[in-house]
């Protein structure tokens, strides 16, 4: 008995040592091993059918009989209902977080047992970096609408632009937004006053930072000069990094949901001076809950960011035509109005935009993500997370 016990303890200790050794022996990545061949940065293009015939598509879709669509917004339930009412195809809309959707679609694809036919997907980097290159989904542009869709939003195809906007409390600041530049937020006065979701659990903010670094250095450097009257230390090319670093160091109020960020700014009994970076959809509460909030009009260089919600079809879905018809439906007024009643623009020039939040005239004022950079955003996600982590402390 003693012997066996001892042997077991020795085995356990050996196991622990092995794990320890693995941990100590693990090597940092070295350039020597680089294999450039399977770089994920090649972007698949949205497919367009040359001989497109809408009636044929509708007929084929009806024959397929049913459709399941996933989306990170609960609005998809209404979208599915509207689609079913229009075409008579039994449609289920399921709300699911992006990470869960990605996991499910990947595993369904690997096992050839696909239940998710189409997806409305907000995380561009993982769409372009993970789902497309593995052939799990493709994006598809209906030929009859291709002329109407803004060219910068065709590849990959998005169906809706959403926004995160800098927001203030109009009851506390009746004369307008207390800041006039995004650099104001890096001043000691505003330390601990910016409310936003945790960037390490909300991928769109990390993507935003990467997009800033790639395309907004000049604007941010100019804005810095405007605000402080001096050149940015470290030079222009680091303007975005400097801003991100200072925002992180200014210890923002991080929340687990958009609602909490919104409440921190504009809840009925709120008296703290705060700026929120929140979704445009939350402005429904201005009416519904009487929240006194407005977008920081004229904030330099932009009062927020807009980001796309893409539409993609599962490559192995048995309901290809129905899925395509659904994507087309979401490019029309009747489809997208189930999702943009709280704001947001369709890529279809002929479809009217949803209502803009008070203080914002048009989505054009916002910083816009570059669809062609998504693969790079994907590759740089971790570095940016680490950058945030290091400076947020």
Query: Could you say which residues in the range 238-277 bind other proteins, by CB under 8 A?
Result: 253-257, 259-261, 263-264, 267-270, 272
Give Cα 288 distance to the centre of its chain.
Answer: 25
Q: Is 50 in the site for other proteins (CB under 8 A)?
A: no
Q: Is 35 in the site for other proteins (CB under 8 A)?
A: yes
Q: Which residues lie closer than 8 Å to 152 by C-beta, 6 or more apart?
A: 371
Query: Could you say which residues in the range 338-367 bind other proteins, by CB under 8 A?
Result: 341
Cβ–Cβ < 8 Å for 300, 100: no
Q: d(Cα 110, Cα 316) in Å, to the nearest integer?
A: 10
**Dihedral over alpha carbons 301, 129, 79, 81 (to 10 degrees):** -170
Q: Is 169 in the site for other proteins (CB under 8 A)?
A: no
Instruction: Tell me the Cα Rg of the chain.
Output: 24
Looking at beta carbons only, is 210 or 223 nearer to other proteins?
Answer: 210
Q: Is 27 in the site for other proteins (CB under 8 A)?
A: yes
Q: Is 192 in the site for other proteins (CB under 8 A)?
A: yes
Looking at beta carbons only, is 170 or 181 nearer to other proteins?
Answer: 170
Q: Is 383 in the site for other proteins (CB under 8 A)?
A: yes
Residue 299: CB minimum distance to other proteins, A: 20
Q: Is 85 in the site for other proteins (CB under 8 A)?
A: no
Q: d(Cα 35, Cα 260) in Å, to the nearest integer?
A: 44
Q: Is 214 in the site for other proteins (CB under 8 A)?
A: no
Tell me which of 2, 3, 30, 233 binds other proteins, using CB under 8 A. 30
Name the pairing type of β-strands 66-71 and 90-95.
Answer: parallel
Residue 150: CB minimum distance to other proteins, A: 27
Cβ–Cβ < 8 Å for 97, 73: no
Tell me which of 285, 294, 300, 377 binds other proteins, using CB under 8 A. 285
Query: Could you say which residues in the range 124-163 bind other proteins, by CB under 8 A?
Result: 126, 129-130, 133-134
* Residues near other proteins (CB under 8 A), total: 92
Rounded to the nearest 5 percent, the helix, strand and coil shares of the chain are: 45, 15, 35
CA dist 107 → 45, 103, 271 (Å)? 23, 6, 48
Residue 69: CB minimum distance to other proteins, A: 10
């Amino acid at each position: 008995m003693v012997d066996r016990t001892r042997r077991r303890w020795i085995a356990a200790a050996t196991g622990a040592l092995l794990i320890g050794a693995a941990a100590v022996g693990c090597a940092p990545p070295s350039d020597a091993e680089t294999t450039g061949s399977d770089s994920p940065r090649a972007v698949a293009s949205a497919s367009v059918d040359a001989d497109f015939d809408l009636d044929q598509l509708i007929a084929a879709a009806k024959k397929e009989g049913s459709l399941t669509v996933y989306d990170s917004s609960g609005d998809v339930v209404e979208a599915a209902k509207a689609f079913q009412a229009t075409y008579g195809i039994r449609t289920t809309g399921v709300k699911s977080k992006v990470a869960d959707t990605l996991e499910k679609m990947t595993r369904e694809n690997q096992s050839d047992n696909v239940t998710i036919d189409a997806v409305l997907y907000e995380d561009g980097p993982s769409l372009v970096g993970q789902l497309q290159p593995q052939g799990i989904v493709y994006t598809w542009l209906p030929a009859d609408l291709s002329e109407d869709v803004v060219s910068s939003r065709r590849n990959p195809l998005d169906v809706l632009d959403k926004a995160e906007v800098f927001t203030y409390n109009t009851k506390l600041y009746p004369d307008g937004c207390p800041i006039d530049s995004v650099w104001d937020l890096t001043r000691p006065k505003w330390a601990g006053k910016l409310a936003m979701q945790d960037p390490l659990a909300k991928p769109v903010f990390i993507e935003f930072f990467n997009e800033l670094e790639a395309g907004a250095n000049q604007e941010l450097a100019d804005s810095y000069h405007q605000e402080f009257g001096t050149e940015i230390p470290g030079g222009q090319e680091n303007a975005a990094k400097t801003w991100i670093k200072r925002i992180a160091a200014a210890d923002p109020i991080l929340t687990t949901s958009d609602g909490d960020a919104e409440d921190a700014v504009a809840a009925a009994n709120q008296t703290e001076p705060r700026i929120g970076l929140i979704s445009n959809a939350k402005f429904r509460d201005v009416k519904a809950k009487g929240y006194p909030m407005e977008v920081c009009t004229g904030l330099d260089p932009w009062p927020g960011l807009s980001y796309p919600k893409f539409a993609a079809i599962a490559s192995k879905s048995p309901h290809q035509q129905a899925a395509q018809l659904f994507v087309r439906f979401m490019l029309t007024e009747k489809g997208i109005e189930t999702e943009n009643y709280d704001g947001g623009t369709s890529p279809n020039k002929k479809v009217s935009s949803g209502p803009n939040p008070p203080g914002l005239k048009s989505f054009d004022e916002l910083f816009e993500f570059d669809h062609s950079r998504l693969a790079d955003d994907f590759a740089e996600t971790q570095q940016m997370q680490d950058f945030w982590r290091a400076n947020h402390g």
